[in-house]
A and B are shown apart, each in its own frame.
Chain A
């Protein structure tokens, strides 16, 4: 285990991961805030530090299409995008997962238009939550790097063979500089290994067809296989994390609790907000408030049982959504966490939609969530203190 401490942006961290993974093909199109990631990676390739074939395409639809073609041909393939880029890719995103192609994609989370906005929220990732891609979420640059290295192994495992998206918050993680550890390239290379596809388009001795027409007598079975692969990926994600802990010194889990063991009130969140919330919790703990956090790292597959277990001793829980479902209820994470809770408890749960289009999520906002939770915990009821869903930080 050898590490080097560096100060890097999240996009730099992703570029270093891609350099060390050294995929056969990367097809990408620039979009804010992903741009500096691909610039950095293209520089590595231009300097001969990576042997990747970069395909410069005319749109994200083409980027993912080129990735699909290259992956069918047996290549290890990566791309990266954000927001509108993902929206334009959307059709082919589903094709990648349904063809069972282990493409790995950093997604630098950014609000979807419109009105047009370049800043962070999770609306882009939530738009592909039912696409059959595994979704890992990073809290900081270190986790961007670590999740990307693990993503390759998860995606390519023969029990999985699903593409993986590694989410991280646009600008907040992608452009902020943090201290983080890079691992020895030789160790990373050994860890990611070589991709050996079972079927490829470029084997004349074993001709195969990809993308044939799937009529009502077969399509349903193929979707059923994807459901099984998604479920089976839990074990692979855990096994890969265990193996990776020998390199990074830390074993990644689907969930990470912060001061959750004895907590009475807690928030559930994805991404960089967890980092801010840690500092808020530390302050609250000094005042004697038993506050905690549950961070979700693995959003797809959705670790429903683990979430229910992790939250079972709380008196009140708030789910933070950096996206709105516009379903007249609340955010997508809330829907799913509430579903998980329903199976095992009657803990009062509320939802905060926050940070849309890059609106700040700072101490005052997070403190407000915890003070609401304290009230709910006291009364044992949601209605008495708060609406079920609150738009946090919006001008009322």
Chain B
């Protein structure tokens, strides 16, 4: 399950008031990839590096290194399947696989 549950959460006296979040980019630290039903599985062998998945990902869950797709960030991927749908049919480098608990 979620990684955050293992982390000690701050108590109410330690938290910033009003639900205000003063840390820009802090979503990186928060595991929001916990409610997927299907997970995209990327194949390095099949991938032609067209970057269509990266362009269309509504989160930022397609990981890129030196301009090339190198994997999927499952801590933020919600399993919407857009990457798999955008991957050219002849290539089929992203397959949606049912999550198993």
Determine the residue in chain B with the shortest Cβ distance to A101. Answer: B18
The answer to whether B12 and A209 have CB atoms under 8 Å apart is no
Contact across chains for A208 and B22 when beta carbons are under 8 A apart: yes
**Complex interface bits, A165-203 against B, C-beta within 8 A gives 1, otherwise 0:** 000000000000000000000000000000000010000
Q: Taking CB as reference atom, which chain A residue is nearest B25?
A: A207
Distance in angstroms from A165 CB to nearest chain B CB is 18
| CB within 8 Å for A207 and B24 given contacts A224-B12, A225-B12, A228-B12 | yes
Contacts of A225 in B (CB 8 A): 12, 15, 17-18
A297 at interface, CB cutoff 8 A: no
Q: Which residues of A contact B20 (CB under 8 A)?
A: 99-100, 199, 208-210
In the bound assembly, the distance between CA atoms of A142 and B10 in angstroms comes to 45
Do residues B19 and A211 form an inter-chain contact, with CB atoms below 8 A? yes
Report the Cα distance A83→B15, complex, angstroms: 35
Query: B4 near A: Cβ within 8 Å?
Result: yes
A109 to chain B, nearest CB (A): 28
- Please tell me if the beta carbons of B17 and A208 are within 8 angstroms of each other in the complex: no
Report the Cα distance A222→B19, complex, angstroms. Answer: 7
Majority secondary structure, A binding face: loop
Size bracket of the A interface: 20 to 34
CA distance A206 to B23 in the complex (A): 8
Q: Is the CB of B18 within 8 A of A206?
A: no
Q: Is A214 an interface residue (CB 8 A)?
A: yes
Chosen A-B contacts, 13 in total, with CB atoms closer than 8 Å, are A199-B16, A199-B20, A207-B24, A208-B20, A208-B21, A208-B24, A210-B19, A217-B4, A221-B15, A225-B12, A225-B18, A228-B12, A229-B17
Cα–Cα, bound, A156→B63 (Å): 44
The docked-state distance in angstroms from the alpha carbon of A255 to that of B12 is 31
Say yes or no: A212 contacts B18, CB within 8 Å: no
What 18 additional pairs, Cβ within 8 angstroms, besides A101-B18, A161-B18, A222-B19? A99-B19, A100-B18, A199-B16, A207-B24, A209-B21, A210-B18, A211-B19, A212-B21, A214-B19, A217-B4, A218-B9, A218-B15, A221-B10, A221-B12, A221-B15, A222-B18, A225-B12, A225-B18
Q: Which of A308-364 contact B (CB under 8 A)?
A: none
